[in-house]
Amino acid sequence: MSTAEPERPDPDALAEIAAREGRGRLKVFLGAAPGVGKTVEMLTEARRLHEAGSDVLIGLAETHGRAETEAAIGTLARLPLRAIAYRGQVLHEFDLDAALARRPGILLLDELAHTNAPGSRHAKRWQDVEELRDAGIEVWTTMNVQHLDSSAEAVARVTGVRVAETVPDAVLKGADAVELVDIPPAELLERMRAGKIYRPEQAERALRGFFKEGALAALRELALRRTADRVDADVTSWMRRNAVAGPWPVGERVLVLIPGGASGDPVLHQARRLADALHAPLLALHVEQPGQESDPGPGIALAQHLGAETEVTTATDLPAAILAHARARRATHIILGRGEPPWWRRVFGRTLVAALARQAQEFTLHVVPSQAAARATPASRPLPRWTTWLAVPLLVGAATLVCLALDGMVPDAAFGMVYLAAIVAIAAIVGPVHAGVGAALSFLVWNFLFLPPRYTLAIASAQDVLGAAVFGAVAALLAGTTGRLGRNVRSAAVRLAALRRLTALSRRLNAQASMPELQMAVVEEAARIIGGPACLLLPLDEALATTLPDQFSRDTILKAEPVLRAASPADATPDDGAMAAARWALANGRAAGRGTATLPTSAWRFLPLTAPRDGETIVLALLGLRPVEETADPEADRAIEALLDQAAVALERARLADTAANARARGQTEALRTALLTSLGHDLRTPLTVIRGAAETLRTAGTALSDATRADLLSSIEEEATRLARWMSAILDIVRLESGQVVPRREPVDVAQALEEAALRAQQAHPGRTVLRDLPADLPRPGLDPALLDRVLENLMDNAMKYSAPGTALRLLARREGTEIVLAVEDDGPGIPAEDLPRIFDPFFRAARTDSIAAGSGLGLSICRGLVGAMGGRITAESPIAAERGTRVTLRFPA
């Protein structure tokens, strides 16, 4: 690519602008402490716009009884507050819905960090602001620097007061404008003593605590720095959008290059010291090159620990990549280690330091003495380094033996091709430097043994001189390209192996069906990686984790104790000291224990598995590791990082699956409850009405009724009562089946006799109906529960009688098919529609064609399915079975 190619706007910067399209603007009036005049400044500026014709509305302005603030409101319209009853008192809060309905041009909303009263739509006022912006409303608001999330810890150390109400940094970062409202600490203290900020008794307490001159000066510096960072970000964004090359000398930014391995420690520490001295942000960059086999992990981890913003990129031209990144990030200082480059690079000025010194004229370059800091760490070898040189004479000697065997059969000049093959092999196996030595040795042997005059190093003809020159050039080219290719292949093999391990891990985690199996798979994989014990701790107790899987909250997690859920081996249990590190890791969402800066004396190291949820990062679990080796293994560390990411995704997916399953179960329960209530209303009303009517007739008419009428009424009462009893029995059967209370008592059953008895009972219950039997005498006696089988057959026969025309016959069939015994009940009824067949065994379902023929609860077939399943059998239905009519219900049991 030509270096003269014009710069193009940064797509990410343009995407940021596009993302703000359609959203309302946000302007933040930022102050160092209460009383600096943020609200007054906001109201004053808003009043000027209002007088110029802008639509300005006060959503909420906290005056705290200050006359100066009340006077600043002037003629600005105010939105009525919403009254919320809470614990016997009435709280007045900003009315979000009224503001959305009113849609002013500019809405003033004081105190961005305020916590809304319980019962509000959002817990925090900044969330109200985000919804207003999403609706396209411009919002002006105020906040103090101590309420910023990232500043809360520093403010607590400076003032001794920990702020409870905070605002995420992303809110301030996403603001369209930030205006600093600033006064000197001495003037602020004078206002406090004059009673212009708090009442006298409150002012006295504040002067003894938060409002100390040194603390106010520190808060003022913090506010100034936050504002400067915001201005710096605005300048950077503008430069990226407009493709303006940097850096501009308006602010210092330090970029440090992360080398592979641990050799970069002095460089990174020096960069941190320089950034602190310049009060500048620290950026860290690692550039991976094709064929590079160094491990940047320790350097990246140290840079992140030192507070640097890290980035990893890949490039073949190292200086160009570094300078491009420095210009894009507007760095002014570049820090790198001196390193120990090869002698030929130093002689020809091809070192990284020399290249940057020539090209980085707009940057200040710092070179830190550090051995091998700018050089890749060689890959570990199974043999001492000097043994690699044995490949040179061995391969050259092998090529010489081949040439001696071919001597006299091919021209002498052709032997150069044999030696070139040896040079390629040396470059591919050990490297380009060895191949260069091999090329020189090959030429000497070739010239001495085969080129005339033989057994001298002289070259007799011009043709041989040209051949030797071509041989040298080709050998040098092959040594360099093949050596680089060999390194690339080895590097690709390492990456491919890592990718295969990651794929296998992902497949294994995805294959786990339940949460306990998944947890066990995670700890087993972790133990395999580190070669020592591993465990998994969850932040909630077993009851909460199983009954409320979708109700995690940060407050719950911070209060919870880590509880052991899985371990490999099973007796791997952290001691009390290690559990202290686990509690800290759980509360702070960062690693703790062995090898970290927190409680490093612990034998265990705890790593959090995190996932985003509801706009914040939640700790799903802690992975505890107890490595056997004292020194860290970079390869194992990378594998553990991959395991953490994959395990967090898998755990979150399993939780969501459990939540979805619970939701489906609740939906099914609601559907069953609805069907049950519907059936109660439908099926109980008719028999109760008949019973009530017959009873009232008997009571009122008394002896006036004939004996036949009285007998008919009593018979009706008896029939409907029997129907109710059967219906309630069916309901109880369904409840027992759903709760798993049906346990069959198995014994050998004479199936033919059971079918015969069921047929006789059906004929007695339905006089005039015929039941045809096809029952072989040699049927096996399967192990079934006789009572449950009788209940199933009774329901099937009753169902067939009700849904077939009077006068038609039923058929009972039995036969053996392989390892199963098959029972069937057939009728000549209207049949079941094809679309209803899959549902006829569902509770309370009745096919459309048959609803008009006979009434029923729709539970008979559902009960049959449950009872047959409890006995280890299967039940199916077919319809039609002949001439578009009839239904066959088939039972299959192990013979």
Are 233 and 162 a contacting pair, CB within 8 Å? Answer: no
754-789 tens-digit pLDDT: 888 888 888 877 787 888 888 888 888 888 888 888
**Better-predicted residue by pLDDT, 483 or 231:** 231
Q: Pick the range with the lowest mean pLDDT from 86-95, 97-106, 502-511.
A: 502-511
Mean pLDDT of 225-250: 62
48-76 tens-digit pLDDT: 999 888 999 999 888 777 778 888 888 88
Are 228 and 180 a contacting pair, CB within 8 Å? Answer: no
H-run or E-run covering 821: strand 820-827
Provide the pLDDT confidence category of residue 372 given band limits of 50, 70 and 90: very low
- Calpha distance 515→39 (Å, rounded): 52
Q: How confident is the model at residue 461, as a pLDDT? A: 67
In the structure, how many helices (H) and strands (E) does the chain have? 29, 25
| Range ranked top by mean pLDDT from 97-106, 359-368, 443-452 | 97-106
Model confidence at 578: pLDDT above 80: yes
CA 435 to the chain's CA centroid: 49
Q: How confident is the model at residue 511, as a pLDDT? A: 65
Model confidence at 446: pLDDT above 70: yes
The closest alpha carbon to 420, from 402, 433, 438, belongs to 438
Mean pLDDT of 543-562: 44
Provide the pLDDT confidence category of residue 548 given band limits of 50, 70 and 90: very low
Strand 309-314 with 282-288, pairing: parallel
Provide the pLDDT confidence category of residue 236 given band limits of 50, 70 and 90: low
Helical ranges in 532-633 per DSSP H: 542-547, 554-559, 576-588
Query: How distant, in Å, are the alpha carbons of 93, 125, 128, 484, 525 from that of 121?
Result: 11, 10, 8, 62, 44
Sheet of 820-827, strands arranged across: 770-774, 809-817, 820-827, 887-894, 874-878
Q: Pick the range with the lowest mean pLDDT from 171-185, 199-213, 281-295, 463-477.
A: 199-213
- Calpha distance 523→513 (Å, rounded): 16
Model confidence at 725: pLDDT above 90: no
596-608 tens-digit pLDDT: 767 777 889 899 9
Mean pLDDT of 356-367: 82
Tokens 């890959």 sit on residue: 379
Provide the pLDDT confidence category of residue 845 given band limits of 50, 70 and 90: low
**Better-predicted residue by pLDDT, 628 or 739:** 628
Provide the pLDDT confidence category of residue 245 given band limits of 50, 70 and 90: low
Model confidence at 658: pLDDT above 80: no
Residue burial 46-57, b: 16+ Cβ < 10 Å; e: rest: bbeebeeeeebb
Provide the pLDDT confidence category of residue 295 given band limits of 50, 70 and 90: low
- Calpha distance 120→205 (Å, rounded): 32
Model confidence at 251: pLDDT above 70: no
Please give the model's pTM, rounded to 2 decimal places: 0.37
- Calpha distance 739→732 (Å, rounded): 11
Provide the pLDDT confidence category of residue 267 given band limits of 50, 70 and 90: confident
Provide the pLDDT confidence category of residue 362 given band limits of 50, 70 and 90: confident
**Better-predicted residue by pLDDT, 533 or 514:** 533
Q: How confident is the model at residue 555, as a pLDDT? A: 42
Provide the pLDDT confidence category of residue 29 given band limits of 50, 70 and 90: very high
Q: How confident is the model at residue 108, as a pLDDT? A: 93
Model confidence at 218: pLDDT above 80: no
Q: Pick the range with the lowest mean pLDDT from 147-156, 774-783, 848-857.
A: 848-857
Q: What is the mean pLDDT of the chain?
A: 75
Provide the pLDDT confidence category of residue 263 given band limits of 50, 70 and 90: low
408-437 tens-digit pLDDT: 787 766 777 787 777 777 776 776 677 777
660-698 tens-digit pLDDT: 777 776 766 666 566 555 555 555 666 777 787 878 787
The three-state secondary structure class of 83 is strand
The tokens describing 873, both together, are 């059998």
The tokens describing 309, both together, are 């913003």
The tokens describing 642, both together, are 């991959």
Model confidence at 837: pLDDT above 80: no
List CB contacts of 361: < 8 A, sequence separation 6 or more: none
Q: How confident is the model at residue 588, as a pLDDT? A: 78
